[in-house]
Chain A
Amino acid sequence: MTEFFQNLGLSYEWAWTVATLVGIITISLLVMFSVAMVIYVDRKVLGAIMMRRGPNVVGPFGLLQSFADGLKVFLQETIIPSAANKGIFLLAPIITFTVALAAWAVIPFDAGVVVSDINVGLLYILAISSLGVYGVVMSGWASNSKYPFFSAMRAAAQMISYEVSIGFVLVCVVLFAGTFNMSGIVMAQKGHGLGFINGFFVNPLLFPMFVVFFISALAETARAPFDLTEAESELVAGYQTEYSSMSFALFWLGEYANILLMCSLCTLLFMGGWLPPIEWAPLYYVPGIVWFLVKTFFFFFLFSWIWATVPRYRYDQLMRLGWKVFLPMSLIFVALISGYLMATGHFS
């Protein structure tokens, strides 16, 4: 795209800047649109599992429901509690939303279709997702209300706990792939299983890590069964209790953008990203982005399915799972995998 703007008569620097800006805006709009559609899918799947119809009034099959909700929220009054710390109260949802969108900069949708193909792509995602906790903690504190504050404390502890095991899972993947670059990780999965299956998930050493990553992704996005930050029965609506209107909508959008990000990470790290499931020439006629979206959507379906079926964890169970089960397990696997790779001469 940079060449296109250079042909319009811009110098390389400015052409690159304009091309990157265009890329950022395109991806943000697409992510926002898919978030709107995915909220609809979430509600439809939940409806189907509960044997009811789900949203079906606005537009054909209720497809425009999320847009109607967005419009409604946009027209509402923004209420700021008088005891709230105003600046931070308004900043918190903006941070959640910005951070949720910023991580998409290094996600490759197809070979070469990525805003910024940096060397440390995976570390960038880890860094950005560790910022997500600030939106929650700041909103909980700034609301100056006890339930949001409880929720913020829970969210901070929960996200930090599960980030540790996610970090070790990523180390395992990087050991096999030999790079932190997202496109490089996807290409390392080409023909990984028996020479014809694309994806790390078929590797018996990486499959347990795949399961750990998926469950940690649920906890990291505070999704059921780990949605203790917004447990309705205990905390009203958690950190969002005092929010209304657009500031509430930003939390909502950011949350779903994060869920989609985690789904796409499962796809990129373990399922072979934009590569077709198996090495078979006709499958390569399907555009890579279609495979990417199908796999991501599959994981999103799993998220909704789990939401509808699994009861919420108790807080001590959540902490036990993170620190006493996942952390030792992923540590053992880091040692196991590096030992295996050294023994088979992977690094030489």
Chain B
Amino acid sequence: MIQALAFYLFAGLVIASAVMVIMSRNPVHSVLWLILAFFNAAGLMVLVGAEFIAMLLVIVYVGAVAVLFLFVVMMLDIDFAAMRAGFIKNFPLGIAIAAILLAELLLGIGAYNAGGLELGTPDGAATQGVGQSNIEAIGGLLYGRYILLFEVAGIILLVAMIGAIVLTFQPPKPGARGRQNVGKQIARRPHEATVMKNPEVGQGVEL
């Protein structure tokens, strides 16, 4: 019964906050509602026993991706009225995408219920997870059966990361000020920066 209550709480909040993402007037509020939706989706994951996925959802999406969203939305000076104006125009497109997503969901659930897919039977990997914790089961699959796909995904991400760095890297202009050499700063001693003088009264200091 508590599980049912928790499920309806999380599911209701996911839907309500997803609706608020598109209904709220202020884009910053939209991002905050989106974060609430992510968070409640993580709650749903915990309820089905996928606590590892739930934690990853919170760490990756709520902790990193949504912070960047929030960052960008806060920094940009957005004209709220102009953004609202496109709503009616894009409404049919949105409905179409929603219909496609719904059809895909129904198709997927239907195929699953019909038993058409035999998940992981060839080497019995799908039954591997019984009696293991989430992390062990996922680790066993990722580094065992799906090692090639996993490595390929890793390489693609690495290339993307290097590409992003190369695109944004600006080599220092020769003679430009403002570049810090931390080693040089730390190696500097007081006697290199200051001079002790003991001038006579009325004489002043000459450096």
Contacts and interface: CB of A to CB of B under 8 A. Distances in A.
Central interface residue in B1, B51, B67, by most chain A CB within 10 Å: B67
A317 B182 contact: yes
A56 interface: no
Contacts of A163: 63
A17 B2 contact: yes
Contacts of B56: 123
A180 B67 contact: no
A236 interface: no
Interface in B31-72: 32, 35, 42, 51-52, 55-56, 58-59, 62-64, 67, 70-71
27 contacts: A13-B2, A85-B26, A85-B28, A88-B28, A88-B29, A88-B32, A118-B51, A119-B51, A119-B52, A119-B134, A119-B135, A120-B135, A123-B55, A123-B56, A126-B55, A127-B62, A127-B63, A130-B62, A131-B63, A133-B63, A134-B70, A137-B70, A156-B70, A316-B180, A317-B182, A320-B180, A320-B182
Contacts of B16: none
Given A130-B59, A317-B182, A160 B67 contact: yes
A96 to B, nearest CB: 14
Interface string A150-172: 00110010001001000000000
Nearest to A317: B182
A246 interface: no
Contact of B35 (A13, A134, A149, A316): A134
B124 to A, nearest CB: 22
B109 to A, nearest CB: 28
A124 B46 CA distance: 11
B182 A127 contact: no
Contacts of B182: 317, 320
The secondary-structure label for the interface of chain A is: helix
A130 B63 contact: yes
Contacts of A88: 28-29, 32
A128 B1 CA distance: 27
Contact of A141 (B52, B62, B74, B134): B74
Nearest to A118: B51
B1 to A, nearest CB: 6
Interface in B149-187: 180, 182
A76 B26 CA distance: 31
B134 A130 contact: no
Contacts of A128: 58
Contacts of A131: 58, 62-63
A261 interface: no
Contacts of A180: 135
Among all A-B residue pairs, the 6 with the closest Cβ atoms: A130-B63, A127-B58, A123-B55, A119-B133, A127-B59, A127-B55
B134 A120 contact: yes
Give the interface residue-count category, chain A: 20 to 34
Given A13-B1, A119-B133, A124 B62 contact: no
A138 interface: yes
Given A17-B2, A88-B32, A120-B134, A156 B71 contact: yes
Contacts of A320: 180, 182
A262 to B, nearest CB: 16
Contacts of A141: 28, 74
Contacts of B133: 119
Contacts of B52: 119-120, 123
A126 B32 CA distance: 20
Nearest to A87: B29
A88 B28 CA distance: 10
Given A13-B2, A118-B51, A160-B67, 7 more contacts: A13-B1, A88-B32, A119-B52, A126-B63, A131-B63, A138-B32, A156-B71
Interface string B70-84: 110010000000000
Contact of A124 (B26, B55, B134): B55
B67 A137 contact: yes
B201 to A, nearest CB: 35
A120 B58 contact: no
Nearest to B66: A134
A64 B42 CA distance: 41
Contacts of B28: 85, 88, 141
B182 to A, nearest CB: 6
Contacts of B180: 316-317, 320
B156 to A, nearest CB: 19
B164 to A, nearest CB: 14
A172 to B, nearest CB: 16
Contacts of B1: 13
A156 B73 CA distance: 14
A123 B64 contact: no
Contacts of A152: 74
Contacts of B67: 133-134, 137, 156, 160
Contacts of A153: 71
A292 to B, nearest CB: 24
